[in-house]
Structure 1
Amino acid sequence: MKSEKEKMLAGEFYNASHEELVKERDYARDLIFELNHTKPSDKEKKQELLKRLIVAKGSFHIETPFYCDYGYNIQVGENFYANYGCTILDVNAVQIGNNVLLAPNVQIYTATHPIDPIERSTGIEFAKSIVIGNNVWVGGGTIICPGVTIGNNVTIGAGSVVTKDIPDNVIAAGNPCKILKGI
């Protein structure tokens, strides 16, 4: 029988109130609290806290405030940058490529809930992974919804709501986000 964490990571219905998951979220929230209350000039401490929280393949920078659920489901590539107010609900995997720029207040959500209100009232939820390719710029205030893949060399316009996959080499924007033109 799978644990609630195994079900969560497999994208199946799971109980988010399970003791193990609450403990892991509390651990991440404590690190995030410390990160968000560290002086901007204390860059070494901020990097140490971030490295305890997320998986990074190289150099990266995240401005505070920053928020996430677990941290360990976030993997960022070389030269990743997230501006102020980034929120990543990493209930499932969030893979971010190299040379990715997130403008202020970008929100990345893997978590989702049943559509049926009776099912939803039971407290179960599930999540879908998100993939962001290499050389991507995501404009300010953009929301990336569960299960989305954004290709390589993509620009997402500010204020977009990305509900479906975006292919390589395009500029896309809007609510819902649509391809405007190729690059």
Structure 2
Amino acid sequence: MVRSERQKMASGEWYCCIDPELDGLRAIAREAVHQHNTMPPGERGNIGPALSMLFAHVGEGVFIEAPFHCTYGINISLGPNVYFNAGCTILDTATVRIGEGSMLGPGVHIYCAEHHKDLPERRAGLEVARPVEIGRDVWIGGGAIILGGVTIGDGAIVGAGAVVTRDVEAGATAVGNPARRVAVK
């Protein structure tokens, strides 16, 4: 049985991102993102209707400031009362789950895609998708970058500008590039 690139992407296998089905899904996401980013705030509300319908799950009270960008949207699940400040980007080639009450500062980026290290394979569009899990009541400071395969535990804090390449334990504070746990006084 031949597996589609979308099926490979969803199962965490190497897949080719240069694919008509994936192109179509990205086009749908671009339209939803455009609607969200260009609607007057009074009409848009907390989240543009097309963006809300695109996501896998949107809990009550989710608020996404414009501008916002995502690759597919269909892999994003947001718990109740999640807040994204302006300029957040989620490259959701894999599942991204963000728990209740978590807050993302301005310009936070989440990157699930990892491109192939081998140049010819990278030129051919091969990449692998790694999920991101962010627990409940997490605070992620502005400009932080979360890489694929990372889990951030409940109540953790990620400092502004941090690059998170490894898991962050529940209740921990991580800062820097690469992000490391620090003691909080």
Indicate the TM-score class for this superposition, using the shorter chain for normalisation: over 0.9
How far does the alpha carbon of each residue in 1:63-99 deviate from its partner, in whole angstroms, 9 at most, with x for none?
0000000101000001100000000000010011111
Q: Conserved in 2, the CA contact under 8 Å of 1:138 and 1:156?
A: yes
Indicate the residue corresponding to 2:41 in structure 1. Answer: 40
The answer as to 2:14 corresponding to 1:13 is yes
Segments of structure 1 that go 5 or more residues without pairing to the other structure are: none
How far does the alpha carbon of each residue in 1:134-178 deviate from its partner, in whole angstroms, 9 at most, with x for none?
110000000001111101110110000000011111111100000
SS at match of 1:95: strand
2: CA distance, partners of 1:85 / 1:158: 14
TM-score (norm 1): 0.95
Q: Which letter maps to 1:133?
A: G
CA RMSD of aligned residues (A): 1.5
1:82 paired residue among 84, 106, 111: 84
Identity %: 42
Deviation, structure 1 residue 45: 8.6
The answer as to 2:26 corresponding to 1:25 is yes
Q: How does 1:1-183 map to 2 (within 5 A)?
A: 1-44=2-45, 46-54=47-55, 55-181=57-183
> In the comparison of the two structures, how many residue pairs are matched?
183
TM-score (norm 2): 0.94
SS at match of 2:155: coil
2: CA distance, partners of 1:181 / 1:156: 13
**Shift in CA distance, 24/180, structure 1 to aligned 2, threshold 3 Å:** same
1: CA distance, partners of 2:171 / 2:45: 36
2: CA distance, partners of 1:82 / 1:181: 26
SS at match of 1:165: coil
2: CA distance, partners of 1:45 / 1:162: 28
Q: Conserved in 2, the CA contact under 8 Å of 1:169 and 1:182?
A: no
**Shift in CA distance, 182/44, structure 1 to aligned 2, threshold 3 Å:** closer
Runs of 4+ in 1 over 6 A off after TM superposition: none
Q: Conserved in 1, the CA contact under 8 Å of 2:47 and 2:63?
A: no
2: CA distance, partners of 1:45 / 1:174: 31
SS at match of 2:42: coil
Q: Which letter maps to 1:7?
A: K
Q: Conserved in 2, the CA contact under 8 Å of 1:112 and 1:126?
A: yes
